[in-house]
Amino acid sequence: MLAFPDGFLWGAATAAHQVEGNNTTSNWWRMEHAPDSTMVEPSGDAADHLHRYPEDMRLLADAGLNSYRFSLEWARIEPERGFVSRAMLDHYRRMIDTARENGLDPTVTLMHFTVPEWFQRDGFWRADDAVDLFSRYVETVLPILDGVRYVCTINEPNIAAMLAGGEDASNLVAYGLPNPDPAVADTLLDAHHRASEIVHSVSGAQAGWTIATQAFHSTGEPGADEMVAQYGDPRDHWYLEQSAGDDFVGVQAYTRTFIGPEGPLPVSPDVETTLTGWEFFPQALELGVRSAWERSGGVPVIVTENGIATADDTRRIAYTQGALEGLHRAISDGIEVRGYQHWSALDNYEWASGFAPTFGLIAFDRETFARTPKPSLAWLGEVARRNAL
């Protein structure tokens, strides 16, 4: 039996745009419906989590989980510049309350990739007032965060900076990540710091951002180690280093990438891969947690995403078992890890890849929205009940 620390959070995660449906005032909705869109399909109704969140939270809680990470949708709360929807603020307050009523500690993300369409139109993260506008939004949602312990300011700013580099979103499931926009990275860091200050005005609230850790591996060839630093620093390492002094850092780990002297290498044809084409590599989580701890100077870690896109739920369980064994090793070595939130609670809209990559612990019918919990949900729930593998 591998026991986890007392009070450990066991949960699952979602992102608003990927599960709520009809996020029509967001920049992603506009991109999905553009005449030249490279996205496989639009998000449409998604999983209709906007209306069905009480059922979804009950399923997580009934299985044995005690935590749920979800995001607020800025585009719904401020659909036009300067107009705040009180109804949507009330909606997200109800989500927070419903999580608590079900015994789920709510981890709230303030921005999970999507922004209002007007924000992108008016300059996006390159606008002079971008940080001011995001800070105003954080001030707006502050009253509904009362009593929330963990607030994630910005989801995967390293990926957001790559998307802002002007390359296609579909590149995010390829082995070579796009070039990040360093000016956008600096702006996102400023936005994170400003948001954290605002969040800290709520008693007991803790703030951090969540980083997509990449588990870059050197091939060992001459020049490969140097390339790991050159390639990895602006895509991963820098963000973990900038987490120093935060209340926590979120780690989001899925796979690894080998780096040779010329850069990233395609996934080897002789390894097991997932529906996103990534290598089946559960150890990515342990490596990501260790990297976050070391590079941040010992900031507490929450695993805010970890999972696998597969149609074979037995492989999801096997992957998660391996990931949690590695997480336990990291904890045993003295790394402070406060929780594990699986990606994802629901099968969802995987951005440019559409609905085909299934990451969920719960499946849903695209026509009726009927929910079908997978065996992996019951398995993870039992781990949570025991607080042990």
| Residues labelled as active-site residues | 156
Amino acid, single-letter form, for residue 138: V
CA distance 167 to 174: 12
Query: Residue 257's beta-bridge partner residues?
Result: 216
How many alpha carbons lie under 13 Å from residue 62 in its C-beta half-sphere? 8
Residues in CB range of 94: below 8 A, 6 or more apart: none
**Distances from the Cα of 346 to the Cαs of 59, 354, 365, 371, in angstroms?**
11, 14, 11, 9
Residues in CB range of 378: below 8 A, 6 or more apart: 63
Where are the extended beta strands (E) located within the chain? 9-13, 67-71, 105-111, 150-155, 206-213, 216-218, 249-253, 257-260, 263-264, 301-306, 337-343, 362-364, 371-373
